[in-house]
Chain A
């Protein structure tokens, strides 16, 4: 029993590991994601041929006439990135 406990203490099972190496087959998952996105967009075009893709103002009517182009999704993404950098700077500078 004691040996088993010792083994558990010394065992590496249960530790979280994250390496810097990238598995060679991970691109398959990325390719699948990319292909799925394309399929979804094509399917949307077939099912709703006269409808453009929804934009922010079509989901949130309060932004009607403001965020009424797909470009705002991308700009908001970039803004999130900028705020993430600002947040990182603040938290890194103030962390103990």
Chain B
């Protein structure tokens, strides 16, 4: 990473221009006709990735909902067996988990990175066309991943590796694209931009380090393996959250030191987010799961690094919450797109990290007393932290990259409450059922299993709110790209700051203005003249 940082700043000695030209050739001309199928105007790549990510929320939440339902009614989808499909609750929950992480969260964050890195570097994305094209490859990879989770072998061939290859192919192109962008920056790039870049490169760098050193079965090798997903997603989430919080609220980033702690902490420590079993990681790399079994020393070091991961989580949460609020306890611009989601993610990150720490340490030490609630907590981490954080950040930059606002703030608010309320209440009830199952199984009481099943029914039905919220959000964003108010139409002038489709050329009423101004009427004070003289008052 240090080498990459130096090369971005200093270049490749005399090969700088050659490597840039060669990379640009590989990203555009070398791809031949397919590159001409996609749009290359500014912001099109970020818009495409964000829209793909938002649309992936619908299958992600639907598959997760079906997985939760099948936990209490395993035969509910038996009619699909006539098509050769035999979905079960664990397979649907794991596939829902993966397509949420790679389809929704991954695509929303990469879309955000394609705006954040050039914006903070004061430059343009190196190639919009290649970035747009790669969104299609990534979407195909996520689809293959979904199939592979439910049907790992087709014609005797393990297909998860196909998904890994496709994702890494797209990731490589995105990384080269963003590195060229960062190398051509015209100003010093703030920390959120570096978080996005380091987050993206940490996955391939850790894989290359593992292959070169051949140390997968050692403690250091396993630490490197945890960089692949944990560090990548945490750093990108952090960068997107910090950028979105500042941009949406209009407040400067509260603390650079806390941002630096978040960055360094994410690189060193082990994130407790994600699944604990290791099956998925083994499938991704086509390895045997047994290779991840830790030694006694690894357990001690791993527990220590897990505990340390609370530091970057707290630093991130405090920084985002303080940035959103500015000088008082109230959030600035609460109706600004994405602000409620960012606020929710910042609130939930600390309690869920603490919960995940307990479960990870419990599993790592072989106690396994809390393994029963692991999946519900992992889903909480996804739907109450990662999805709101990535979606909120993407929503906050969506108007700028697409040129239009989302269609309706009111629908956006509904979508937030449906998603947040559905995920929170649904998963809390599911976790209650998990606790009930753990307790009753331990006491060997079979009759009372019905209690847990009833809670699961309630939990899965409430989680359906997340599906509805995802549909609302997607429709709002898609309609916004066609009919949303133009971003440039809003100016600081008091008369035009009323986001209204009609002109104020005749009489109007306060009721009408309030209806268009989301219930707020404010007076804008505009300086009449400005002066460079030090200490002289500004005339209003």
Residues of chain A touching chain B, judged by Cβ–Cβ distance below 8 Å, are 10, 12, 17-22, 65-71, 74-75, 77-78, 81-82, 84-85, 88-89, 92-93, 95
In the complex the two chains form, is B76's CB within 8 Å of A78's CB? no
B348 to chain A, nearest CB (A): 22
Cα A67 to Cα B82 with chains together (Å)? 13
The verdict on A85 contacting B515 (CB below 8 Å), with A65-B79, A74-B464 known, is no
A82 to chain B, nearest CB (A): 6
In the complex the two chains form, is A81's CB within 8 Å of B471's CB? yes
- Report chain A residues within 8 Å CB of B478: 85, 88-89, 92
In the complex the two chains form, is B66's CB within 8 Å of A20's CB? no
- Report chain A residues within 8 Å CB of B58: 78, 81-82, 85
Number of interface residues of B (CB under 8 A): 39
B463 to chain A, nearest CB (A): 10
Check B1 for interface membership: any CB of A closer than 8 A.
no
The verdict on A22 contacting B464 (CB below 8 Å), with A65-B79, A88-B475, A88-B478 known, is no
The verdict on A82 contacting B467 (CB below 8 Å), with A19-B519, A66-B79, A88-B478 known, is no
In the complex the two chains form, is B516's CB within 8 Å of A85's CB? no
Chain A residue with Cβ nearest B69 = A71
- Report chain A residues within 8 Å CB of B508: 12
In the complex the two chains form, is B475's CB within 8 Å of A71's CB? no
A90 to chain B, nearest CB (A): 11
Chain A residue with Cβ nearest B479 = A88
In the complex the two chains form, is B66's CB within 8 Å of A75's CB? yes
In the complex the two chains form, is B471's CB within 8 Å of A82's CB? yes
B residues 443-495 in Cβ contact with A at 8 Å: 461, 464, 467-468, 471, 474-475, 478-479, 482-483
In the complex the two chains form, is A17's CB within 8 Å of B512's CB? yes
The verdict on A85 contacting B474 (CB below 8 Å), with A19-B516, A65-B79, A78-B62 known, is yes
- Report chain B residues within 8 Å CB of A71: 66, 69-70, 73, 76-77
In the complex the two chains form, is A21's CB within 8 Å of B475's CB? no
In the complex the two chains form, is A92's CB within 8 Å of B479's CB? yes
Interface string of B63-82 (1 = CB under 8 A from A): 00110011001011101000
Cα A93 to Cα B478 with chains together (Å)? 10
In the complex the two chains form, is B76's CB within 8 Å of A69's CB? yes
Cα A67 to Cα B410 with chains together (Å)? 35
In the complex the two chains form, is A84's CB within 8 Å of B73's CB? no
Check B531 for interface membership: any CB of A closer than 8 A.
no
In the complex the two chains form, is B413's CB within 8 Å of A22's CB? yes
- Report chain B residues within 8 Å CB of A19: 514-516, 518-519
Cα A66 to Cα B464 with chains together (Å)? 21
B residues 499-527 in Cβ contact with A at 8 Å: 506-509, 511-512, 514-516, 518-519
The verdict on A22 contacting B475 (CB below 8 Å), with A65-B79, A69-B73, A81-B467 known, is no
In the complex the two chains form, is A20's CB within 8 Å of B516's CB? yes
Chain B residue with Cβ nearest A55 = B76
Cα A81 to Cα B410 with chains together (Å)? 18
- Report chain B residues within 8 Å CB of A10: 506-507
Check B409 for interface membership: any CB of A closer than 8 A.
yes
Chain A residue with Cβ nearest B65 = A74
- What are 19 A-B pairs at a CB distance below 8 A? A12-B509, A20-B335, A20-B516, A21-B514, A21-B519, A22-B410, A66-B79, A69-B73, A69-B77, A70-B76, A71-B76, A75-B62, A77-B464, A81-B58, A81-B475, A85-B55, A85-B478, A92-B483, A95-B482
